[in-house]
């Protein structure tokens, strides 16, 4: 038996899925979409209400330092910026648990920035994080 956040995974798989977010090593960004379009798409996929998006996007873009690049295509971003966008897309909804592998293949500065973002989320949103490195 496996329990996540007190829920039985076998009996309540959708309830578990609704409360966690996962960011794989190679995140599935749509490189022909802009940063903003990727955020909108992931918000649509996760059912984030339109009224919640403006504030949530602003916070994520500020946290990841991507706010000045929202019109840039994801395919034109550096590796570190792609990872930050992947993390922002993963967090368009507020999960209770984040399963993450965020720092694989990024430069030392981006790695440090990603750790700082995750630490902010832990402190500010009381997010539980399970990280694989």
75-81 own/partner pairs: CB under 8 Å, 24+ apart: 75/31, 75/32, 77/35, 78/110, 79/105, 79/106, 79/107, 79/110, 80/106, 80/107, 80/109, 80/110, 80/111, 80/113, 80/114, 81/110
| Secondary structure of residue 88 in the 3-state scheme | helix
pLDDT tens for residues 1-56? Answer: 899 999 999 999 999 988 988 877 666 789 999 999 999 999 999 899 999 999 99
Is the CATH number 3.40.50.300 carried by domain 3-131? yes
> What pLDDT, on the 0 to 100 scale, is given for residue 10?
95
């Amino acid at each position: 038996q496996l329990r996540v956040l007190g829920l039985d995974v076998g009996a309540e798989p959708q309830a578990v899925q609704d409360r966690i977010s996962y960011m794989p090593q190679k995140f599935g960004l749509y490189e022909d979409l802009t940063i903003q379009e990727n955020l909108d798409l992931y918000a649509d996929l996760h059912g984030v209400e339109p009224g919640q998006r403006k504030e949530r996007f602003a916070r994520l873009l500020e946290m990841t330092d991507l706010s000045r690049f929202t019109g840039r295509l994801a395919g034109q971003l550096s590796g570190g910026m792609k990872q930050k966008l992947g993390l922002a897309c993963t967090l368009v909804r507020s999960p209770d648990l984040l399963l993450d592998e965020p720092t694989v293949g990024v430069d030392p500065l981006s790695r440090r920035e990603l750790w700082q973002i995750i630490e902010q989320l832990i402190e500010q949103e009381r997010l539980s994080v399970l990280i694989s490195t």
